[in-house]
Structures are given as structure tokens and as C-alpha cells.
């Protein structure tokens, strides 16, 4: 199971790097909180609009932060050198994909652990309910799977920083649509759509994105 | 004909779109012909000077 | 090895003579004239032969263009998928050229699909746009393949661009059945596919629709061939330029 070992080594390396140079991580967390504030202004959430806008605001914020984290995964300056090194070594491409993917899931998880309580407070919603946590967790996994693939694709392209979200957002849209609906139901929203298995849809999306990523990564990271 | 504006706009958009695309491909192809021609001339000249 | 031999031995489409290149570059000819005549015949059928629809009036004729656009967009992206698989399997540059050409024409037709849809929807449904399943997934489809084209342009190295393009061409294709399935999974404002239901459309509608479909298919094929020849020629020019650079360096 050397590929698993390689994957975990990559996760450890990336997380250690982020922990050492904490600026990016801290700035991203602050930015995510700032997004909550900005959306509060944009959607005029004093009053009964809060409830209607709340699920969307959460997912839009996480999407925004997720795009930044995704960009970081393959593109950190010193990372370019180590990526070349990884590719030259006989490391299984799937292991690289898995390592980057897990690193992103953990990073997003840490971010969400801080953003969700703030979100629950700002918008006075039970955001730590199981329904919300499960859909956010599943959505994060699916998003990370797609983001890792597109990050690997974009790394060789010009305008990389813009291309990554350009590729990622349309693909992530089913996750966002299902996630917002699931969160809406979990926050006590209207019964419309409560019968649909949103969480199962998101989980299915995770499986599809992971499978697709693992299947094609060899061709992307040649 | 009511709603005639929408009808004309729709078919106009279709054929304008196709025409513009064809024109673009055409002008790129003309440019390409020029490039290929000059490249071949360059190679032929090179061949001549080398004997 | 003489320059002529070197050029002839270039992988792919090497050109050795003026005549050879000129033959493979498109010239307006008899075929294009036939295409133009087919277009005019179809427009005549749409506007003069087909009666106006009972409820919707003349604006219904947009359907004769809108439906073929949708179908041919699917065909285009299926071509991209097939060419992408072929490229990853055999690494033939021709497959990559086809993928690029088909993707571009596909995006053009998807754009026209959305435009005609909007222009049809406003008078008939009263709204320019609605976020129902079919329109939303079609818009996502548009973004996905626009992304494909942008990635292709953004990667400088041709081989890498082809390889990554092929991966995208395969992954992106998942969106095509999604558009179809979304209609059956969710209630939608958009009419359900009725062409495949016999007896749903009577009289002149179906024959004229099929004629329009055929006409636009020919236009589609002509556009893909035009674009394909351009892509091929540009690749060749790049190879020739490299050859020139190598010779002049020495």
C-alpha cells in the first residue's frame, strides 16, 4: 500500500507547510468571516429575509473560500518545485491526487469548524444541526475532489487563478444546489423539497467526482 | 404578425452567429495561407543557398 | 536529408508542395452553393409552407431552429468525447484537432440554442429566463465547454494542451445526459421532449422540423470541417516554423 503511504506523506507535507506559514490560512478564515458580513449587507438580512437567504449565504461563503483554498493546493510558490520533484519520482499519480484531496478536505474542515459557529451566531440559525453538518461535510468532500482535479489541470495554464474557478464552479453547481436545499430543510425551511434525498445526491456526487478524478489523473499529471 | 420582433431576432441571431463564425474562420484561414506560403518560401530559399 | 524530405517526414500533415496545401485548405465551391440552397429551401419551408401555430402564432417557427440547435450541440459534444477518448488511446493528433473544432462549433450552437430559447420564451411564457432544470443544466453545459475552450487556449504546449483537453473533453461530457435527465427528474416549465412521441405533432410540423434538422446538420458539418482544416493547418504551420527556426539557427 505504498500509494497510501505516499498520499499521507503528501498530506503531512502540505499541512505542515500551511501550519508553518500561517498567513494564508489565517487570512482565508478572516476572509470567509468577512464574506458572511458582506452577504449580510448584500441580502439585507435585518428582518425576515434572513431565513430565506441564510442557506445560500453559507454555501456561497464556503464556495468562495473553497476556491481560494483550491488555488493554493497546487500553486504555492515553493510548491511548484516540489511538484516537479514528485512527478519525476515514481510516485503513483493517484497517490498525489489523494494526498492533495485529503489535504484540502482537512483544510476546509478546519475552516468550516470556525465559520459555522460564526454563521450560526450572525444569522441566528441552528447551523450546528446534523442536517447542516452532514450536507456541508459531504459537499466539501465532493468539492475537494473536483477542485483537486481542476487544480492539477489549471496548474499548467496561463491565467491559472481565474481558470480554476471557471472550471470548478459549473462542475460544483449540483453540489451547491443540493447543499443549499438540504441546509434549507435542516434549518426548518418549507416542506417543499424535503422529500428529495439531497444528502444522498451530494454523496453520489462525491463518489462520481472522486472516481472521475482518480480515473483521469494519470493523464493530467504525466 | 404579433411577436414578429422575436421571430426575426431569433432567426437573425442564428444566421448572424453562423455568418460571423464562418467569417472569422475564413479570415484566419486566409492568414494561415499567407503564413504557410511565406514559410515554404523561407525553406526553399534556405535550400537554395545551401545547394 | 534534403529539406523537402525532412518536411515530408514530419509527423502528421506535412506539406511538401504548394498544390498539396492549397487542396486541403477550404475553397468555396459547389458544395457550399448546395448548402446555401438547402438553407434557402428550409427557410422557405419554415416561413411559407408551415402554418402558424394555433395558440402561439408565428413565433412558434423559432422551434424549427431551436430544436436542431439543441440536438446538434449534443452531437458536437459527443464528437468531442469520442475524439478525446481516441486521442488518449492512440495519441493521434487528428483526434485532438477534431475535438477542438467540434467543441468550438458546439459552443456556438449552444449559445444560439440559449438565445433562441430566450427569444421564444419571452413571448410564449412571459419571462426571459427561468431557473428550471433544463435551462439551468443547459447554461451549466455552456459554461463547462466555454471552460474547455479557454483551457485549450491557455496551455501553451500543444501536446499538453491536447492531453489535458482530452481529459476535460471526457469529463465534461457527463453534462450532456444530465441535461436530458434533468427534464425527467424534475417538473419543468420547458416542454418535455415530444418529438419522440408519435402523434404528438401532426400535419406539416414534423416533416419541416426534420428538414430543418437535416439542413442545420449539413451546416454544422460544414462548419466543423472548416474549423478542422484551420486547426490542422495551424499545427502544420507551427511545425514548419520550428523547422525554419532550426535551419536558420545552424
B3-44 tens-digit pLDDT? 788 999 999 999 999 999 999 999 999 999 998 888 888 888
* Cα angle: C179, vertex C180, C186; to 5 degrees: 85
In chain A, the N- to C-terminal Cα span, in Å, equals 21
Interval A152-163: pLDDT, tens = 999 888 889 999
pLDDT at residue A213 greater than cutoff 70: yes
* Cα angle: A145, vertex A150, A155; to 5 degrees: 130
Q: Which residues neighbour A25 within 8 Å (Cβ) at sequence distance 6 or greater?
A: A18, A19, A107, A110
**Considering only CA atoms, which of A55, A64, A52 is closest in space to residue A143?**
A64
Please tell me the distance from the alpha carbon of residue C62 to that of residue C46, in angstroms, as a whole number: 9
Q: Which residues neighbour C245 within 8 Å (Cβ) at sequence distance 6 or greater?
A: none
Residue C190: what pLDDT? Answer: 63
Please tell me the distance from the alpha carbon of residue C96 to that of residue C169, in angstroms, as a whole number: 10
Please tell me the distance from the alpha carbon of residue C61 to that of residue C189, in angstroms, as a whole number: 19
Q: Is B21 on the interface with C (CB under 8 A)?
A: yes
Helix (H) or strand (E) holding C244: helix C205-249
pTM equals 0.88
Please tell me the distance from the alpha carbon of residue B16 to that of residue C218, in angstroms, as a whole number: 17
Please tell me the distance from the alpha carbon of residue C111 to that of residue C93, in angstroms, as a whole number: 27
Residues C88, A219: C-beta atoms closer than 8 Å: yes
Helix (H) or strand (E) holding C50: none
Over its length of 250 residues, how does chain C's per-residue pLDDT go in tens digits? 454 455 445 443 344 344 444 445 455 678 888 888 889 988 888 888 887 777 778 888 899 999 999 999 999 999 999 999 999 999 999 999 999 999 999 999 999 999 999 999 999 889 999 888 889 999 999 999 999 999 999 998 999 999 999 999 999 999 999 998 887 776 555 665 554 444 444 577 888 999 999 999 999 999 999 999 999 999 999 888 888 888 777 6
Size of interface B-C (CB pairs under 8 A): 105
Rounded to the nearest angstrom, the gap between the alpha carbon of residue A67 and the centroid of all alpha carbons in its chain is 7
Residue C210: what pLDDT? Answer: 92
**Considering only CA atoms, which of C72, C67, C71, C75 is closest in space to residue C201?**
C67
All residues of chain C having their beta carbon less than 8 Å from the beta carbon of residue A160 are: 154
- CATH of C29-191+203-249, picked from 1.20.1740, 3.40.50, 1.20.120, 1.10.287, is 1.20.120
C-alpha cell, C73: 450541440
Of C57, C108, C236, the CB nearest to B17: C108
The minimum CA-CA distance between C119 and chain A, rounded to whole Å, is: 24
Concatenated DSSP letters for C170-227? HHHTTHHHHHHHHHHHS--SSPP--TTSTTSS-TTHHHHHHHHHHHHHHHHHHHHHHH
The minimum CA-CA distance between C132 and chain A, rounded to whole Å, is: 12
Residue C141: what pLDDT? Answer: 97
Interval A122-181: pLDDT, tens = 888 888 889 899 999 999 999 999 999 999 999 888 889 999 999 999 999 999 999 999
C-alpha cell, A44: 439585507
Amino acid at each position: 500500500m505504498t500509494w497510501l503511504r505516499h498520499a499521507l506523506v503528501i498530506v503531512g507535507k502540505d499541512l505542515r507547510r500551511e501550519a508553518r506559514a500561517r498567513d494564508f490560512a489565517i487570512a482565508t478564515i478572516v476572509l470567509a468571516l468577512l464574506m458572511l458580513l458582506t452577504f449580510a449587507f448584500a441580502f439585507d438580512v435585518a428582518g425576515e429575509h434572513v431565513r430565506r437567504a441564510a442557506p445560500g449565504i453559507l454555501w456561497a461563503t464556503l464556495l468562495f473560500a473553497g476556491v481560494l483554498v483550491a488555488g493554493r493546493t497546487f500553486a504555492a510558490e515553493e510548491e511548484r518545485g516540489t511538484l516537479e520533484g514528485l512527478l519525476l519520482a515514481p510516485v503513483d499519480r493517484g497517490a498525489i491526487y489523494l494526498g492533495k484531496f485529503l489535504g484540502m478536505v482537512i483544510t476546509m474542515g478546519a475552516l468550516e469548524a470556525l465559520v459555522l459557529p460564526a454563521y450560526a451566531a450572525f444569522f441566528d440559525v441552528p447551523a450546528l444541526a446534523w442536517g447542516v453538518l452532514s450536507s456541508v461535510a459531504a459537499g466539501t468532500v465532493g468539492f475537494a475532489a473536483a477542485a483537486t482535479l481542476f487544480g492539477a489541470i489549471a496548474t499548467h495554464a496561463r491565467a491559472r487563478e481565474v481558470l480554476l474557478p471557471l472550471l470548478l464552479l459549473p462542475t460544483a453547481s449540483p453540489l451547491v444546489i443540493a447543499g443549499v436545499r438540504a441546509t434549507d430543510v435542516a434549518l426548518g425551511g418549507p416542506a417543499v423539497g424535503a422529500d428529495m434525498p439531497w444528502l444522498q445526491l451530494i454523496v453520489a456526487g462525491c463518489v462520481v467526482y472522486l472516481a472521475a478524478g482518480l480515473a483521469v489523473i494519470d493523464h493530467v499529471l504525466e | 404578425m404579433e411577436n414578429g420582433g422575436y421571430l426575426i431576432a431569433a432567426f437573425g441571431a442564428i444566421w448572424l452567429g453562423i455568418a460571423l463564425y464562418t467569417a472569422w474562420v475564413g479570415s484566419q484561414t486566409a492568414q494561415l495561407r499567407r503564413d504557410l506560403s511565406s514559410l515554404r518560401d523561407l525553406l526553399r530559399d534556405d535550400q537554395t543557398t545551401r545547394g | 536529408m534534403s529539406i523537402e524530405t525532412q518536411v515530408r517526414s514530419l509527423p502528421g500533415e506535412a506539406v511538401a508542395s504548394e498544390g498539396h496545401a492549397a487542396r486541403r485548405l477550404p475553397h468555396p465551391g459547389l458544395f457550399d452553393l448546395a448548402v446555401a440552397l438547402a438553407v434557402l429551401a428550409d427557410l422557405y419551408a419554415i416561413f411559407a409552407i408551415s402554418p402558424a401555430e394555433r395558440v402561439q402564432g408565428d413565433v412558434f417557427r423559432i422551434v424549427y431552429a431551436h430544436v436542431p440547435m439543441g440536438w446538434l450541440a449534443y452531437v458536437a459534444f459527443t464528437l468531442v468525447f469520442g475524439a478525446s477518448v481516441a486521442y488518449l488511446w492512440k495519441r493521434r493528433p487528428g483526434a485532438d484537432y477534431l475535438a477542438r473544432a467540434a467543441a468550438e462549433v458546439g459552443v456556438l450552437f449552444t449559445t444560439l440554442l440559449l438565445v433562441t430559447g430566450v427569444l421564444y420564451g419571452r413571448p410564449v411564457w412571459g419571462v426571459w429566463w427561468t431557473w428550471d432544470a433544463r435551462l439551468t443544466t443547459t447554461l451549466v453545459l455552456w459554461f463547462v465547454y466555454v471552460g474547455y475552450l479557454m483551457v485549450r487556449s491557455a496551455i501553451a504546449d500543444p501536446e499538453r494542451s491536447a492531453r489535458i483537453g482530452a481529459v476535460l473533453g471526457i469529463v465534461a461530457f457527463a453534462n450532456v445526459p444530465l441535461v436530458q435527465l434533468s427534464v425527467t427528474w424534475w417538473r419543468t416549465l420547458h416542454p418535455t421532449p415530444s418529438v419522440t412521441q408519435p402523434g404528438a405533432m401532426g400535419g406539416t410540423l414534423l416533416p419541416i422540423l426534420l428538414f430543418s434538422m437535416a439542413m442545420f446538420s449539413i451546416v454544422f458539418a460544414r462548419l466543423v470541417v472548416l474549423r478542422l482544416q484551420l486547426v490542422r493547418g495551424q499545427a502544420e504551420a507551427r511545425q514548419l516554423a520550428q523547422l525554419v527556426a532550426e535551419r536558420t539557427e545552424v
